[in-house]
Amino acid sequence: MDQTLALSIKNISLSFAKTTIFDGLSVDLIAQQWTCLLGQSGCGKSTLLRLIAGLQQADSGTIEYSEQLKSSINNIAYMAQDDCLMPWLSVLDNVMLGARLRGEKNTNASSKALALLEVVGLSQHHASMPATLSGGQRQRVALARTLFEDCPIVLMDEPFSKLDAISRYKLQNLSAKALQGRTVVLVTHDPQEALRLAHTVLVLSNKSPNISQFASFNSAIPRELDQPTITAHQQKLWEYLQ
């Protein structure tokens, strides 16, 4: 496998009951870059993330991971669309959930989790229970939990969808910085978000071959809203998504 690839999805087909979701989907994901995945509701974006994470099996086809990732025990962090916070754990304990589940007795874990809560603007809520938080606050806890994992592949399913515009902008910036050098796949319905963050923009559809590349960009991320990459491509991406 090419050294620059993190993983290679080859000829994946998947149906639920009589509904075909993927029919021969193939795509390569470039290592240490952000790939943003757009497409109409129900076309299979979350399903593709779940396939990559190993949480869903395809009917046929393969996903090949690079040698480097194969040798890493804990290599994929997955932030689902639903925040999946444990209601009986505090915000801090939710951020450290992975360490707890792995039975790690690392005294640095709580200071690392507290630092991440500070970064996502929730340090004053570290002892709160999830039920007392707003949807956007819960999403920020889930983001902190994802960043806590330090994994080489990070899969994020609409991670900023519940945030106000200013918080979304700030957390896009924070995530781009925090996840520099990781292989990130981000599902979004927001073309502007994709153009701010993506090195590669992919569009998924229900029609075979299911996936197409809208564009790839070399410029550094996050991009400012007035950067040519965004202004020049926004309208085209809207039309591409129709």
Ligand X SMILES: Nc1ncnc2c1ncn2[C@@H]1O[C@H](COP(=O)(O)OP(=O)(O)OP(=O)(O)O)[C@@H](O)[C@H]1O
Collect contacts of 198-202 with beta carbons under 8 A, ≥24 apart: 198/34, 198/35, 198/36, 199/30, 199/33, 199/34, 199/35, 200/30, 200/33, 200/34, 200/35, 200/36, 201/35, 201/36, 201/38, 201/237, 202/27, 202/35, 202/36, 202/37, 202/38
Please identify, using beta-carbon distances, which residue of 68 and 209 lies nearer to ligand X. Answer: 209
Instruction: Give SS3 for 232.
Output: helix
Shortest distance, position 19 Cβ to ligand X, whole Å: 6
Q: Could you write out the DSSP letters of every residue in 45-82? A: HHHHHHHHHTSS--SEEEEEE-HHHHT-SS-EEEE-SS
Please identify, using beta-carbon distances, which residue of 47 and 137 lies nearer to ligand X. Answer: 47
Please identify, using beta-carbon distances, which residue of 13 and 110 lies nearer to ligand X. Answer: 13
Please identify, using beta-carbon distances, which residue of 43 and 119 lies nearer to ligand X. Answer: 43
Strand ranges (E), 31-166: 34-38, 60-65, 76-79, 153-157
Please identify, using beta-carbon distances, which residue of 41 and 107 lies nearer to ligand X. Answer: 41
Shortest distance, position 206 Cβ to ligand X, whole Å: 9
Shortest distance, position 114 Cβ to ligand X, whole Å: 32
Shortest distance, position 16 Cβ to ligand X, whole Å: 3
Shortest distance, position 50 Cβ to ligand X, whole Å: 7
- Binding residues for ligand X, rule: CB under 6 A, are 16, 21, 39, 41-47, 81
